[in-house]
Structure 1
Amino acid sequence: MSETPRLLRALAGETLDRPPVWFMRQAGRSLPEYLELRTQAKDFISFCHNPEMAAEATLQPMRRFPMDAAIVFADILLIPGALGQEVWFEKGEGPRLGELPEIARMADAVEGSTAKLSAIGETLARVRAELEPDRALIGFAGGPWTVATYMIEGRSSNREAARTFAYEHPETLDALLRVLVDATARYLVMQANSGAQALQIFESWAEGLAEDVFERIVSRPHRAIVEQVRAAGVTAPFIGFPRGAGALVENYARAVPVEGVGLDTQASAAVGQRLQAGGKTIQGALDNLLLRAGGPALDARVGALLEQWGGGPYIFNLGHGVIPDTPIEHIARVVGRVTGKPVKAMAAE
């Protein structure tokens, strides 16, 4: 009988001899083999919808490093495209989105949206077939508020326009969030049915929100997603990651029935320990800039995180995603430290 993946044991509440380790945005980003693979795709969206290429990108870091989990190569902005909004990526600048469609038209498109994302399900199936049984596979989606900010503003920004929209047009925003909740829940059910063993909700832009607004546009939609996915019979554990939530992360943990809570760089030792004591597995919160910088400060911070949170259920990860120019040897050093096995920054097989 194969061993239960370490990640799933941690999300079940176990305190392990060492935490499982994986990094957000580990698929691609800093690896030369990913950059080479990327040249074969017409554009980024096409890359995400190509199961053969996306599976290869997902597996590349697993060949280099003894990560305990792979995360499917995809993007949080695939759902707007499936709902009828134009999405593309400008080289060197990031995502661009066309005019926001009518909410009613997008609501009508929810039922068919998952079929338009079937390639991601095929990617997951391919990866699960190749990945070792003791290494977990993670599916994901963007948090509704984060996705809505891009849909409203048409690009990455400081979200001021989206936050203003939330105050000036609350009913319209709530309607958009409901559409995104329904589409996201269906998408995550499909991912779980395709081989994802854990599901993460990336709420990348949860910062700067008043407590009542945070509850309305972050916690409430996340709770609705989890409830819909559970109602569909999916038992895969959830990790909710409200990046930038600050002190409100504890409100989030009480309000949303996720098994794991992702913590960003600012999270204190005490906050993480209180979440663990309250029955949540925590994940994070190594600074991705420190991972890139390396040196004694990185070694010290890794040691501190292991010490302060190793006494409870904990997943070692970053407070945000891997930065593209992060030296591979820094990733290898941290993974080796966490796993207790020195890791060479080896070339991909």
Structure 2
Amino acid sequence: MLNTAPNPQAPEAPILAAAAGYTPTRRPVWFMRQAGRSLPEYRKVREGISMLDSCFMPELLAEITLQPVRRHDVDAAILFSDIVVPLKAAGVDVEIVPGRGPVMGQAIENASDVEKLPILDKDVAEVAEGIGIIREELNQQQTLIGFAGAPFTLASYLVEGGPSKNHEKTKAMMHAEPATWHKLMERLVPTIVQFLKVQVAAGVQAMQLFDSWAGFLSDRDYREFVLPYSEQILAEMEGIPRIHFGVTTGELLASMSEAGSEVMGVDWRVPMDVAAKRIAERSGAKVLQGNLDPAILFAGESVIRAEVERICGEADRAIAEGLATGHIFNLGHGVLPNTDPEAITRAVEIIHEF
């Protein structure tokens, strides 16, 4: 159980308090992909509207962002967006194909293609307007988290032309044409930074850098080809709580923690206390975020409660041992589309008991 004695210096919002290393008034929780296909109200408002179009419609993106906060009593809204939104805003030919994912009009194959890649250097008014609408509804205890895809994940989509199971073209470019790879990463960094700065200027209170595909890399390759660019992005965003998360990145946690975030997301494959030790040994104690297996939400209340208790216990032990400075509860990835919304609501209630 958390010690919830009031601290006059702590931010009022539980997530901001936890991210700053204070004890929050309750254990904060939000879920990746909490705004999405698991909610009937989401499916209703998105009917007949493409994913990317939704991200550029201020009132709609605000409504979708706010739906899970109203329904589940989570402690944060995560901005409804997609990893490729900054690319689209910059002028890249990209569409999200239902059942497949982001697909590029033309893949990047060589240095010449990299030089032609547009860079986002302007405001994204639709996103900024949507953030303003969201902030008007959220109260002082609720946090709005901004979001951007990390450069490796964006680069992989660009090089592969779309989703990939093996990332063979991406890895081939990294190793056979390293100069081209580094030029591509250098060109992506300002687009990602600008997209995040647009969000912060509009009212986002924290941010998550999400590296979907980094788990396909070895630690050696991650450190050489990815880490320097994630470091640059997070350094540019100093001043608000920064969360860094990747999927299947248990073996990369120590290196990812060097990128500079205050909060490290942990997927469900690594126990929280084990993750805390890996992170602390490399970068010092940080706030942990995670890490319930999304599939557990299908297993019934007694299983959910047991898993929540285990995860909170692991995180609290890490805090007590000085290996972590706080805990924000989350899933170890995103809410699965067929999840019962009532199971999500009940999980939040259980988490707040701990």
The answer to whether TM tops 0.5 is yes
Aligned to 1:105: 116
Q: CA deviation at 1:29?
A: 2.1
SS of the residue corresponding to residue 180 of structure 2 reads helix
Q: Does 1:332 align with 2:345?
A: yes
5+ residue gaps, structure 2, are 1-7, 320-325
CA distance in 2, matches of 1:174, 1:118: 30
1:85–1:100: 8 Å Cα contact kept in structure 2? Answer: no
CA distance in 1, matches of 2:300, 2:153: 30
Matches within 5 A, 1:48-87: 48-87=55-94
Aligned to 1:25: 33
Q: Deviations over 1:86-141 (max 9, x none)?
A: 111222332211113622222xx4253x43x3311211111011111210000010
SS of the residue corresponding to residue 63 of structure 1 reads helix
CA distance in 2, matches of 1:76, 1:128: 22
Q: Deviations over 1:137-172 (max 9, x none)?
A: 000100100011111112212123322222122111
Aligned to 1:346: none
CA distance in 1, matches of 2:255, 2:120: 32
Matches within 5 A, 1:55-204: 55-100=62-107, 102-106=113-117, 109-112=118-121, 114-115=122-123, 117-158=124-165, 159-204=167-212
Q: 1:298 aligns with which of 292, 298, 304?
A: 304
Aligned to 2:249: 245
Deviates more, 1:164-173 or 1:13-22: 13-22
Q: 1:46 aligns with which of 44, 53, 56?
A: 53
Q: Percent identity at matched positions?
A: 35
Q: CA deviation at 1:189?
A: 1.1
The residue type equivalent to 1:103 in the other structure is: V
Q: CA deviation at 1:3?
A: 5.9
SS of the residue corresponding to residue 64 of structure 1 reads helix
2:87–2:120: 8 Å Cα contact kept in structure 1? Answer: no
Q: Deviations over 1:188-233 (max 9, x none)?
A: 1111111100010000111131222111233211110012233xxx
The residue type equivalent to 1:227 in the other structure is: A
The residue type equivalent to 2:119 in the other structure is: V
Aligned to 1:347: none
CA distance in 1, matches of 2:228, 2:350: 38
Q: 1:256 aligns with which of 259, 265, 269?
A: 259
CA distance in 2, matches of 1:17, 1:273: 22
Residue-pair matches, total = 331
SS of the residue corresponding to residue 270 of structure 1 reads helix
CA distance in 2, matches of 1:25, 1:262: 14
Q: CA deviation at 1:80?
A: 2.1
CA distance in 2, matches of 1:181, 1:280: 24
SS of the residue corresponding to residue 96 of structure 1 reads strand
What is the TM-score normalised by the length of structure 2?
0.88
1:89–1:95: 8 Å Cα contact kept in structure 2? Answer: yes
What is the TM-score normalised by the length of structure 1?
0.89
CA distance in 2, matches of 1:157, 1:247: 21
Q: 1:322 aligns with which of 308, 318, 335?
A: 335
1:18–1:310: 8 Å Cα contact kept in structure 2? Answer: no
Residue 296 to residue 160, structure 1, CA distance change in 2 (3 Å):
farther
Residue 87 to residue 339, structure 1, CA distance change in 2 (3 Å):
same
